[in-house]
Amino acid sequence: MFEILHFRKSERILSNKNMLKDVQATMQYIDDVLTGALYTRELLRMALDEMDWSIDSDAMRIIENRRYMYKGVKRKIAIDGNICAYEYILEGLVRLQIGYDKQRVEAGILLVNSKRSDKSPLGTTSQIIKEEIESLYPTIHLPVAVCLFNTGDPILYDEEGNTYVASVSKNDHPATEKAAQG
């Protein structure tokens, strides 16, 4: 399940570039691919490649002569993010803002995790995003769409092919956990 929030007329820029449907389809595909996945980095990269988001190093480079790169770029719209951590929002916004200030991108799309603790007194993730983006102005002023993903708990398979929902940390590998039990 995902939700797209538009800020600073990002929706108009995507519409002018005839990319609204493309972005929606890309986010849906990413959601489909990552739902229930334990390891998401390579799956995200493959999904963006399949949806024709550039892997051209020059178009994706954030700073000249550095290795910092966006996850994808298409028609001067950059995608960056981290599906595993909501806290990536600040780093992702700064990275997109640099490209915008250097006129490498016209708008950005930021991918972040929407899952937070049920005990959080701060409201919904959408409400927090809106407040944070507004509070970062004028420092962060680029047109940006934030896509919130909740890919659910990882689904794992045992030796017999049965599925079960895992509650392991991303650093644990299921094979390691099984070996420790056996």
Give the pLDDT mean for 122-130: 87
Give the pLDDT confidence of 37-53 residue by residue, as tens digits. 877 889 999 999 999 99
Between 172 and 176, the higher pLDDT residue = 172
- For the cut 50, the answer to whether the pLDDT of residue 181 exceeds it is no
Q: pTM score, two decimals? A: 0.82
Q: How far apart are the first and last CA of the chain?
A: 36
- In this prediction, residue 58 has a pLDDT band, given cuts at 50, 70 and 90, of confident
Given a contact cutoff of 8 angstroms between Cβ atoms, the answer to whether 143 and 10 are in contact is: yes
Q: Is the pLDDT of residue 86 over 50?
A: yes
In this model, does residue 96 exceed pLDDT 90? yes
Contacts 24+ apart (CB under 8 A), 128-133: 129/5, 129/89, 130/5, 132/89, 132/90, 133/7, 133/93
45 pairs with which residues across the strands? none
157: confidence class by pLDDT, cuts 50, 70, 90: low
